[in-house]
Structure 1
Amino acid sequence: MTAEAKTKPGWRTLARSIRHKKTGYMLLFGFAAGLPYALLLGTLYAWLSDAQVDLETMGVFSLIGLAYAFKFLWSPALDRVDIPILRKLGKRKQWIVTAQLLLGAILVILSTLNPQTALGWFSLLAGLGAFASATQDVVIDAWRVDVADEVATIDILSTVYQMGYRLAALAGGALALFMAQRLGWPVTYAAFGGTMLVVGALGLFAPDAERSAERIEEERKELSTLREAGQIHPSVRKWALLAIALLWGWALLNVGIFMVRSLGSDPGTRPDSVAFIATQGPLIVIATVVIPALIAAWLNGLRKKGRHVLTEAMPAQSSADRALDFGYRALVLPLAEIIGRLGWATIIVIGLVLTYRITDAIWGSFAYPFYLGELQYSKDEVAVASKFFGVGALMLGLVLGGILLTLIGRMAALTLGAVLAAATNLLYADLAIGGATMQAVSDATGFSWLVTNLGGDPRLAKLMMAIAGENIAVGLAGAAFVAYLSSIVAKGYSAVQYALLSSLTLLVGTLGRGALGQMIEERGYYYVFVLTMAIGGIAVVLCLVEWWRQHKIGLAERNAPPPEPEFA
């Protein structure tokens, strides 16, 4: 039965979930995931600016963000490889704790360096930190899926993770700037490095996905099952694995070469990161996701039709045979499993993943130009409206998302989130043409009076009203979307499957920003907001289709006859 069908929404379920130990650690891990991202891809630039590092050199630091965009490339290793000695901590926890302690150490060491005199070491450590942070993200996502149960539900864990992540973004952004102004950058980064070390120490006591002797034996049997009668012949699996390994190897090499070239000492030889993502990004996704998915679907078809399958068991005889089985289990089976389980619905799921967050993700880079340039608000006004009031609204949206997930169910909350995320683009469209509607709403609700009495003015109130509406919708949609992604991946392959799906969400927004910027130049912000609202309608339709599909599955499982009793 699907998770959606199993869940019985209610306030008691919500209360039990919030009190659970796993929920507390999920909040902690969400904070640990969000803090390095804020410090390495945001606040670090403020430190470099204060150190009078030139903009061209700072542009190189933005390349460390590629670790997050392509983190799925090393996710198979995190699913299959154990760290010597630390494996006793647990399948996921060994990687989580290692990444957190490494991040803490990196931030502390960064605090001892001067960006002006040790820029090489500074950039190397920042790159290693981004790699460790992206690795932590992959394993935390897998941990969330693996430890979820009927009390600490996947919906609640997903919402709490988002809350922790957003709190970390506020701490690593606004709080870090506040601390740096008064205490200096070295003290600020040392303090947050110490925080990560404490989180890593606390992580030692977190529950982990059960990997008992029985589970290890099941994994061993799973490998041996690949050589039973009816399974794909090893010679066919070998060529399929070779093709997929070459594609993934090319992608890793391509990204690696780009990073090395970008960190070269001659600025004139550094490649354009935007052009790389725009041109090579789609090719990397095709090579590592699309073509391997087609190969996995082809293998599933062969097995169902009984073609190129073993007629009798063929046990592994050599280390090469065992290496083939291990590699196939790591790279091919995660795709084969999800495609075999979803079937034709894979198209719906991928379409939903590609479109669900595009309404708020694609224009994020143009938010400040819109506020500061188009609407002519001051930096202080934008900071108050976006960073402080906006983050509060986002947290409220996450709380509402968590409550709705429990009370009305995952697919209903997901669909509502898609509707609201698309509709709130119209709030900004109104601002783009003067904001008369937002001003009227702000005045009628008394919000303008409140903001005025707190030191603002009615013009600031209408901006805060629009940001609040969008951030509440984004928070609700984000909680529902993370819960949905977590629900459709299999526990045995959670690291690879979740990393692949979530990377598609990130990449689409990145690829679309170039075209969006040109569209803003040619047509203006109003047209763009209306267009993104319309694109959001595609996600709404796909949510309804997916809701119908899951409902049909639930009905079929509930109406299925009970299994025949077994007699000795």
Structure 2
Amino acid sequence: MAEAVAEQKKSAWRTLGLALTNRKSGFMLLFGFAQGLPPALFLGTLYAWLSEAEVDLETMGVFSLVGLAYAFQFLWSPLLDKVDLPGLRRLGKRKQWIAPMQLIVGIALLIMSFLDPKSALGWFSLLAAIGAFASATQDIAINAWRIDVADETATLDILSTITQMGFRLAALIGGALGLIIAERIGWPQTYVIMGAIMLAIGIASLFAPDADVEKRSAATVAANDEEVAELYNAGEVTEKVRIRALIAVGVLWAWAIVTVVVFMVRSMTALPDDRPDVTLFTATYGPLIVIATVVLPAFIAAWVAKQKRDGTNVIIAAPGVGAGHKVKFSDHLYRALVLPLVEFVGRMGWSLVLILALVLTYRICDSIWGVFAYPFYLGELEYTGDQVAFASKFFGVFAILLGLALGGWIITKFGRMFTLTLGATLAAATNLLYADLAVGGAAMQAGSDFVGFTALVNFIAGIFQMTDIDGLARLTFTIFWENLAIGIAGAAYIAWLSSIVAKEYAAVQYALLASLTLLIGTIGRGALGQMIEDRGYYFVFIFTTMIGAVAVGLCILEWIRESRGKAKAGIVAPEAGEVMRAD
């Protein structure tokens, strides 16, 4: 006990320093960068290239389909937990997926650089889809890798912060810097550079540490089969119960996968006038797919867990059961698809309701109104494109990175739940800054003047030779504080989300929870747009502040729940400097 207390008294700076100099942290930054670069190139910068190539807007809409790979990546996440790639298992449980996917992304970018998007649009779209699918797949594996390799030095909280920093840096390089490079040397050369970067990361990934897993061998196969056969031990639910649960969950997931595939095929093969609306599909079918693949299976898993807990429909000790049972394909399928949900629901119990509510609401403040940001800046406030780019890309990205670094330090100093609650509070409060901006920004201007921020903005704007700087300081001041809050909240949220999943089922559980994060924001954007039309931006910012307050309340309840759980488990003073694991 004395040793544990002494360990908890480590300074936050020393703990942070040890974590940042750890080899795992270096690769986490690299992996975070690899996660952020492909979306910037496939979903953002690519449209600038298509515009320059005079590709029509309707055709560009087809390219937005690649975003479905990121939105619904959880649909194939069970494969990454239970399927090994032939000849690559020796790389490690996660690296066997990470490195090949990064190489595929790099190759796709390189091939795209040799094509003319207007004359070879079919190949161009196919490569973009392949690259996005590989990128989404590496995201699943990287998120699981982060949870697997976390230890006392490279804690889960620090690794989560670092991955966000890498992601944001990549978004800046693939987005704003990509545009600057393309302006000077051309788009093909720009994509050659980006493809080479992804190839280099893929090669470097081969040398990354991985989870402590055995090399693939006949003995390992036998051990895995024995692990599956444990489903037949006394006290486990009967095969009949498992088959029923597997059929129910399998049908729901099959419907979701077929729905997405059919929509993509229709969109890629239909004439321009007959193409379905991607935004409408995501808003309409997105929630239904999540209900079919997450919500309803959660109820099914709860039913299975209850059967096991109550001792009904369970296997009674008898000769021939246990590890000696012949393993069936359905056993492997049940373990890959259903058991991760059963484990999570059984472990969390009724706390799952609180967790899902927090997942659905935590990022709602920035996600629900994010699509209206540019209409607000450019249309409502009448700023120029250069002014918005200066404020959001230059100062905004810097503020997010600063927020992530600050969030990582706060987690180390005060604990994960304190930072999670603080992030939710700040994210909600910054909507009030935008409310002031919507009615003239007098308070924002006064605050910017008072702290010397206006002078700094005007000085930097002069370096960039910007002549139109009227009101630039108050816009930049507002965006700076919002993005700082987003950075702090993002660092804490990813760390918390990673901490509540089980290592054994990290890929599936994390992917499922992450898919819910922006669900409410996606559903609510249509209603929010109508609210802006009817009530105006000021009212909407007050409203989103109130929504953010709900997330704050849920954070406090989750904080209490975790504290009680730790106290019950006999963990003393678990906050500052605690070892973050996802066991």
1:311: Cα distance to partner? 1.1
Given that 1:34 and 1:166 are in contact with CA atoms closer than 8 Å, whether structure 2 keeps it comes out as yes
SS in 1 for 2:314: coil
**1:294 and 2:299 are equivalent in the alignment:** yes
Deviations along 1:327-373, one digit per CA (max 9) or x if unpaired, are 11101111111111111110111000000000011111111111111
* Counterpart for residue 474 of structure 1: 486
Aligned partner (choices 510, 513, 520) of residue 498 of structure 1: 510
User: Take 1:215 and 1:489, find their aligned partners in 2: how far apart are those partners?
Assistant: 24
**1:275 and 2:280 are equivalent in the alignment:** yes
With over 3 angstroms needed to count, the CA separation of the structure-2 counterparts of 1:153 and 1:215, relative to structure 1, is: farther
* Counterpart for residue 316 of structure 2: 311
* Counterpart for residue 80 of structure 1: 82
**1:169 and 2:171 are equivalent in the alignment:** yes
SS in 2 for 1:85: coil
User: Take 1:559 and 1:25, find their aligned partners in 2: how far apart are those partners?
Assistant: 31
1:453: Cα distance to partner? 3.4
Given that 1:449 and 1:458 are in contact with CA atoms closer than 8 Å, whether structure 2 keeps it comes out as no
The alignment's TM-score, normalised by the length of structure 2, stands at: 0.93
Aligned partner (choices 314, 338, 361) of residue 367 of structure 2: 361
SS in 1 for 2:210: coil
User: Take 2:399 and 2:256, find their aligned partners in 1: how far apart are those partners?
Assistant: 39
User: Take 1:272 and 1:189, find their aligned partners in 2: how far apart are those partners?
Assistant: 28
Given that 2:233 and 2:323 are in contact with CA atoms closer than 8 Å, whether structure 1 keeps it comes out as no
* Counterpart for residue 400 of structure 2: 394
SS in 1 for 2:316: coil
User: Take 1:449 and 1:323, find their aligned partners in 2: how far apart are those partners?
Assistant: 68
The alignment's TM-score, normalised by the length of structure 1, stands at: 0.95
Deviations along 1:239-297, one digit per CA (max 9) or x if unpaired, are 11011111101100000000000112412221111221122111111110111110110
User: Take 1:114 and 1:458, find their aligned partners in 2: how far apart are those partners?
Assistant: 41
User: Take 2:429 and 2:286, find their aligned partners in 1: how far apart are those partners?
Assistant: 29
Given that 2:226 and 2:323 are in contact with CA atoms closer than 8 Å, whether structure 1 keeps it comes out as no
Aligned partner (choices 232, 239, 243) of residue 227 of structure 1: 232
**1:25 and 2:31 are equivalent in the alignment:** no
Given that 2:230 and 2:322 are in contact with CA atoms closer than 8 Å, whether structure 1 keeps it comes out as no
Q: Which amino acid aligns with 2:414?
A: I
* Counterpart for residue 548 of structure 2: 536
User: Take 2:323 and 2:391, find their aligned partners in 1: how far apart are those partners?
Assistant: 63
**1:522 and 2:527 are equivalent in the alignment:** no
User: Take 1:392 and 1:259, find their aligned partners in 2: how far apart are those partners?
Assistant: 36
Aligned residue-pair number: 557
* 1:69-468 mapped onto 2 (5 Å cutoff): 69-212=71-214, 219-313=224-318, 314-315=321-322, 321-454=327-460, 455=462, 457=469, 459-468=471-480
1:559: Cα distance to partner? 7.3
User: Take 1:175 and 1:350, find their aligned partners in 2: how far apart are those partners?
Assistant: 37
Deviations along 1:117-152, one digit per CA (max 9) or x if unpaired, are 000110111011111111111110000000001110
User: Take 1:275 and 1:198, find their aligned partners in 2: how far apart are those partners?
Assistant: 38
SS in 2 for 1:539: helix
User: Take 1:243 and 1:450, find their aligned partners in 2: how far apart are those partners?
Assistant: 60
Q: Which amino acid aligns with 1:26?
A: M
Gaps of at least 5 residues in structure 2 are 573-583
Deviations along 1:485-506, one digit per CA (max 9) or x if unpaired, are 0000100000000000001013
User: Take 1:109 and 1:247, find their aligned partners in 2: how far apart are those partners?
Assistant: 37
Percent identity between matched residues is: 60
1:507: Cα distance to partner? 2.7
With over 3 angstroms needed to count, the CA separation of the structure-2 counterparts of 1:142 and 1:418, relative to structure 1, is: same
Given that 2:229 and 2:325 are in contact with CA atoms closer than 8 Å, whether structure 1 keeps it comes out as no
Aligned partner (choices 9, 14, 17) of residue 16 of structure 2: 14
User: Take 1:217 and 1:276, find their aligned partners in 2: how far apart are those partners?
Assistant: 44
Given that 1:452 and 1:458 are in contact with CA atoms closer than 8 Å, whether structure 2 keeps it comes out as no
1:60: Cα distance to partner? 1.0
User: Take 1:172 and 1:363, find their aligned partners in 2: how far apart are those partners?
Assistant: 24
Deviations along 1:296-328, one digit per CA (max 9) or x if unpaired, are 100110111111111135358887x52121111
User: Take 2:47 and 2:31, find their aligned partners in 1: how far apart are those partners?
Assistant: 25
With over 3 angstroms needed to count, the CA separation of the structure-2 counterparts of 1:86 and 1:435, relative to structure 1, is: same
User: Take 1:421 and 1:170, find their aligned partners in 2: how far apart are those partners?
Assistant: 22
Q: CA-atom RMSD, angstroms?
A: 1.9
* Counterpart for residue 566 of structure 1: none
User: Take 1:378 and 1:315, find their aligned partners in 2: how far apart are those partners?
Assistant: 70
User: Take 2:310 and 2:524, find their aligned partners in 1: how far apart are those partners?
Assistant: 41
SS in 1 for 2:328: helix
Q: Which amino acid aligns with 2:433?
A: L
With over 3 angstroms needed to count, the CA separation of the structure-2 counterparts of 1:350 and 1:183, relative to structure 1, is: same
User: Take 1:150 and 1:100, find their aligned partners in 2: how far apart are those partners?
Assistant: 28
